[in-house]
Structure 1
Amino acid sequence: MTASFAAAGRPNLSDGSPADARALVASGRAALGPAPEVGSIRDIDIPTRGGSIGARLITPTSPSAGLVVYVHGGGWLAGTLDDYEICARRLAVTSGCSVLMPDYRLAPENPFPNGLEDCEDALRYASRHRAELGCGDGPVIACGDSAGANLVTVALRRLGGEVACALQVLIYPVTDCDFGTRSYREHGTGLPLTRQDMTWFFDHYAPRAEHPRDEISPLRAPDLSGQPPAVVVTAQYDVLRDEGRAYAQRLSQAGVAVVYREAAGLTHGFVRLHNLIAEADAELVAIGAAIATACAAN
Structure 2
Amino acid sequence: MPLSQPLNQSQHRSLNWEAQTLLELMERIGAPALDSQEPAMARATRAELAPEPTEDCHEIRFVDAGGVPARLYLPTPTDTLPGLLVFFHGGGWVIGDLDSHDNICRSLTNRSGQAVLSIDYRLAPEDPFPAGLGDCIQATRWAHANAAELGVDPDRLAVGGDSAGANFAAVVAHVAPAPIMFQLLVYPVTDCRMNTESYEQNAEGYFLTKSSMQWFIDHYLAGERGSAEDPRVSPLLVGDDVLAQSPPALVITAGFDPLRDEGVAYANRMAALGVKVSHVEFTGQFHGFFSLPHMLGDARAAHALAAESLRLALASGRP
Normalising by the residue count of structure 1, what TM-score does the alignment of the two structures yield? Answer: 0.93
Task: Give the drift of 1:61.
Answer: 1.8
What does residue range 111-150 of structure 1 map to in structure 2 within 5 Å? 111-137=128-154, 139-150=156-167
Task: Give the drift of 1:137.
Answer: 4.4
Task: Give the drift of 1:215.
Answer: 0.8
Alpha carbon RMSD of aligned pairs, Å? 1.6
Task: Give the drift of 1:173.
Answer: 0.2
Does the aligned pair in 2 maintain the 1:130–1:138 contact within 8 Å? no
Equivalent residue of 2:304, what SS? helix
Does the aligned pair in 2 maintain the 1:149–1:170 contact within 8 Å? yes
Q: Are residue 276 (structure 1) and residue 295 (structure 2) matched?
A: yes
What does residue range 132-211 of structure 1 map to in structure 2 within 5 Å? 132-137=149-154, 139-159=156-176, 162-207=177-222, 210-211=227-228
Q: Which residue of 1 aligns with 2:65?
A: 46
Task: Give the drift of 1:10.
Answer: 2.3
CA distance in 2, matches of 1:117, 1:253: 29
1:15-74: CA deviations, max 9, x gaps?
A: 101111111111111xx3543111111111122xxxx22110011123353111010000
Normalising by the residue count of structure 2, what TM-score does the alignment of the two structures yield? Answer: 0.87
Task: Give the drift of 1:264.
Answer: 2.6
What does residue range 192-271 of structure 1 map to in structure 2 within 5 Å? 192-207=207-222, 210-223=227-240, 224-271=243-290
Task: Give the drift of 1:180.
Answer: 3.1
Which residue among 101, 107, 119 is the counterpart of 1:90? Answer: 107
One-letter identity of the residue aligned with 1:117: G
Task: Give the drift of 1:179.
Answer: 2.3
Task: Give the drift of 1:290.
Answer: 0.3
Does the aligned pair in 2 maintain the 1:33–1:276 contact within 8 Å? no
Q: Which residue of 2 aligns with 1:28?
A: 49
CA distance in 2, matches of 1:137, 1:158: 18
Does the aligned pair in 2 maintain the 1:171–1:233 contact within 8 Å? yes
Does the aligned pair in 1 maintain the 2:73–2:109 contact within 8 Å? yes
Q: Which residue of 1 aligns with 2:4?
A: none
1:270-297: CA deviations, max 9, x gaps?
A: 1210111111111111100000001113
Task: Give the drift of 1:13.
Answer: 1.7
CA distance in 2, matches of 1:210, 1:261: 29
Identity of aligned residues (%): 41
Which residue among 76, 86, 100 is the counterpart of 1:69? Answer: 86
Moved over 4 A (4+): none
Does the aligned pair in 2 maintain the 1:77–1:205 contact within 8 Å? yes
Moved more, 63-72 or 192-201: 63-72
Q: Which residue of 2 aligns with 1:18?
A: 39
Distance of aligned partners of 1:157 and 1:5 in 2 relative to their CA distance in 1, 3 Å threshold: same
Task: Give the drift of 1:5.
Answer: 4.1
Does the aligned pair in 1 maintain the 2:53–2:102 contact within 8 Å? no
One-letter identity of the residue aligned with 2:181: A
